[in-house]
Amino acid sequence: MKTVIEPFRIKSVETIRMTTKEERIEALEKAHYNLFLVKGEDVLIDLLTDSGTGAMSSAQWAGIMIGDETYAGSKSFFNFQDTIKDIFRFEHILPTHQGRAAEKILFSVVGGEGKSIPNNTHFDTTRANIEASGAKAVDLVVPEGLKPMEVHPFKGNMDTKALENFMIETGAENIPLCMLTITNNSGGGQPVSMANVKEVKRICNKYDIPLYIDACRFAENAWFIKTREKGYENKTPLEITREFFSYADGCTMSAKKDALVNIGGFLCLNDGEIAQECKNLLILTEGFPTYGGLAGRDLEAIAIGLREVLEEDYLEYRIRSTAFLGEKIKKIGIPIIDPPGGHAVYIDAKALYPHIPPLEYPGQALACELYIEAGVRGVEIGSVMFGYIDKETGEEVPSKMELVRLAIPRRTYTQSQIEYVIEAIENVYKRRTEAKGLKMTYQASALRHFSAHFEPLK
Ligand SMILES: *Cc1c(COP(=O)(O)O)cnc(C)c1O
């Protein structure tokens, strides 16, 4: 059979409130043309993020009921710890309330003034936590990772020559650790190959620098290795994950991604001394080390999710369904980041709307068009998010790219719902020459995309 089906059936449903085009136009006006300000109940298909928005399995819900809420030494903690140790093989496991809490704790201990941390591409919370500690965050992704239309199987790879040069120039004593983000979220959800992590580890060993992995989408990355890298086609996702993490000294993880839960995270380390310092901070900011800001039931659901996410049927469906959306809209003529990543499809709004200049926000215009057309919510990743006012000239500087990301929540939407999204995109494509830009009428001094107000240009 060629058709890849959802490897599950639905036991509990959540009603979507249907809306008319008129209602959506009104909701968008009320939200000042900012989709972050639209109410969730006014959205039909929500592709804003894949973080914490997925569906849990009946086994996970059963785990929620047997979660042990003992303050110290909960049975659910040991289940959580043993599962993580079995998959990732690290010594010390610290639960946290989400991924950024693990980052905050790690970089409070190893970061600071004068330190630099290289990565393929730092995720925005990772960069913010490194910079908040006074350290510098440096991105060293391969050149292919910066070219949207250039097809390459591992566009998330680290540029290893650049990494070694960086280590020589910066001095190993100023680099507390090197990171590798799998898959590379900020670079379009693109994977990192086994060959690349091996080479990164070899360079790290040469300069005696530990390697940490931002593990958020570790299972999706393992599937890309299985299907794209020679020698791994007969290995299981678990075997691939174990090999990948055998090259690392620790990891940070947002359980809201590949642990298939709505909240949670963890930090893993092999270094006992750093682990002790992290534990002390954990108690200060998150909670006792056997719950770390989570309920016992959350730990139980994470332990079960980490097993389910490595099932081959799940991963085949997951990666195939994202690729399906990407391939279909590409065929219509929509320019996308190619090939599609694991968790999202990125549309190049600059190429779709060449008549809208960057500072009239073509990405925002496209995101609004999709919402009005069909109640589909994506997110602008362009000049609204990354543009800024230059303090010296007072002029607004646009972003390098104008993208709209359609992130797919895990196990949440059906094939016909995705086909509905494709039809909406096709309709928006047909009237692309009529689309108009927007004017920003209000902006906050930081992270302006969350609260900005707009008016459509006539
Ligand atoms: C989501 C994410 C994080 C942060 O995790 P939160 O749970 O949102 O705090 C860090 N790195 C990557 C790659 C992510 O996708």
pTM of the model: 0.95
One DSSP character per residue, 199-267 reads HHHHHHHHTT--EEEE-TTHHHHHHHHHHHSTT-TTS-HHHHHHHHHHT-SEEEEETTTTT--SS-EEE
Q: Return the best residue to mutate from 49, 51, 127 for the ligand 1 pocket (most ligand atoms within 8 A of CB).
A: 51
pLDDT at position 81 is 98
In this structure, is residue 6 part of a structural domain?
no
The reply to whether ligand 1 has any atom less than 6 angstroms from the CB of 123 is: yes
Length of the chain measured in residues? 458
Q: Are residues 43 and 74 in the same domain?
A: no
In this structure, is residue 9 part of a structural domain?
no
Number of CB atoms found within 10 A of residue 83's CB = 20
Looking at ligand 1, which atom is closest to the CA of residue 100? 9
Domain end, chosen from 262, 291, 308, is at: 308
Whole-number Å distance, alpha carbon 243 to ligand 1 midpoint, is 23
The reply to whether ligand 1 has any atom less than 6 angstroms from the CB of 88 is: no
Looking at ligand 1, which atom is closest to the CA of residue 186? 13
Whole-number Å distance, alpha carbon 97 to ligand 1 midpoint, is 11
Q: Are residues 244 and 166 in the same domain?
A: yes
Contact 307, 86 (CB under 8 A): no
Q: Return the best residue to mutate from 96, 257, 262, 343 for the ligand 1 pocket (most ligand atoms within 8 A of CB).
A: 257
The reply to whether ligand 1 has any atom less than 6 angstroms from the CB of 97 is: no
Whole-number Å distance, alpha carbon 260 to ligand 1 midpoint, is 13
Q: Return the best residue to mutate from 121, 125, 221, 408 for the ligand 1 pocket (most ligand atoms within 8 A of CB).
A: 125
In this structure, is residue 215 part of a structural domain?
yes
In this structure, is residue 230 part of a structural domain?
yes
Assign residue 82 the CATH number of its domain. 3.40.640.10
Residue type, 207: Y
The reply to whether ligand 1 has any atom less than 6 angstroms from the CB of 184 is: no
Q: Are residues 391 and 286 in the same domain?
A: no
Q: Are residues 239 and 368 in the same domain?
A: no
pLDDT at position 146 is 86
Q: Are residues 285 and 374 in the same domain?
A: no
Looking at ligand 1, which atom is closest to the CA of residue 255? 7
Q: Are residues 325 and 176 in the same domain?
A: no
Q: Which helix (H) or strand (E) holds 425?
A: helix 415-430
pLDDT at position 187 is 81
- For residue 339, the enclosing domain spans 21-50+312-456
One DSSP character per residue, 269-334 reads ES-HHHHHHHHHHHHHHT--TTTTTS-HHHHHHHHHHHHHTT-HHHHHHHHHHHHHHHHHHHHHT-
Q: Are residues 277 and 322 in the same domain?
A: no
Q: Are residues 39 and 64 in the same domain?
A: no
Residue type, 169: E
The reply to whether ligand 1 has any atom less than 6 angstroms from the CB of 454 is: no
Walk along the chain (458 residues) and give the pLDDT tens digit of each residue.
888 899 999 999 999 999 999 999 999 999 999 999 999 999 999 999 999 999 999 999 999 999 999 999 999 999 999 999 999 999 999 999 999 999 999 999 999 999 999 999 999 899 999 999 999 999 999 999 988 888 999 999 999 999 999 999 999 999 999 999 999 988 889 999 999 999 999 999 999 999 999 999 999 999 999 999 999 999 999 999 999 999 999 999 999 999 999 999 999 999 999 999 999 999 999 999 999 999 999 999 999 999 999 999 999 999 999 999 999 999 999 999 999 999 999 999 999 999 999 999 999 999 999 999 999 999 999 999 988 888 899 999 999 889 999 999 999 999 999 999 999 999 999 999 999 999 999 998 878 999 999 999 98
Domain end, chosen from 283, 308, 333, is at: 308
Whole-number Å distance, alpha carbon 95 to ligand 1 midpoint, is 14
- Cα distance between residue 350 and residue 232, in whole Å: 37
How many whole angstroms from its chain centre is CA 47? 13
The reply to whether ligand 1 has any atom less than 6 angstroms from the CB of 265 is: yes
Q: Which residue has tokens 């036991």?
A: 11
Q: How far is CA 61 from CA 15, 54, 56, in A?
A: 19, 13, 7
In this structure, is residue 3 part of a structural domain?
no
Q: Are residues 220 and 277 in the same domain?
A: yes
In this structure, is residue 158 part of a structural domain?
yes
Assign residue 356 the CATH number of its domain. 3.90.1150.10
What are the phi and psi torsion angles at 51 (to 5°)?
Answer: -95, 110
Q: Are residues 34 and 66 in the same domain?
A: no
- Which residue's CA is the closest to the ligand 1 atom numbered 3? 99
In this structure, is residue 12 part of a structural domain?
no
pLDDT at position 447 is 83
Domain end, chosen from 308, 331, 349, is at: 308
Looking at ligand 1, which atom is closest to the CA of residue 256? 7
Whole-number Å distance, alpha carbon 103 to ligand 1 midpoint, is 9
Whole-number Å distance, alpha carbon 4 to ligand 1 midpoint, is 29
Q: Are residues 127 and 256 in the same domain?
A: yes
Whole-number Å distance, alpha carbon 1 to ligand 1 midpoint, is 36
Looking at ligand 1, which atom is closest to the CA of residue 183? 13
- Joined together, the tokens standing for residue 47 give 């592709």
Tally of domains in the chain = 2
In this structure, is residue 16 part of a structural domain?
no
Q: Are residues 319 and 374 in the same domain?
A: yes
- Which residue's CA is the closest to the ligand 1 atom numbered 5? 99
- Cα distance between residue 182 and residue 139, in whole Å: 14
DSSP E strands, 97-149: 116-119, 136-139
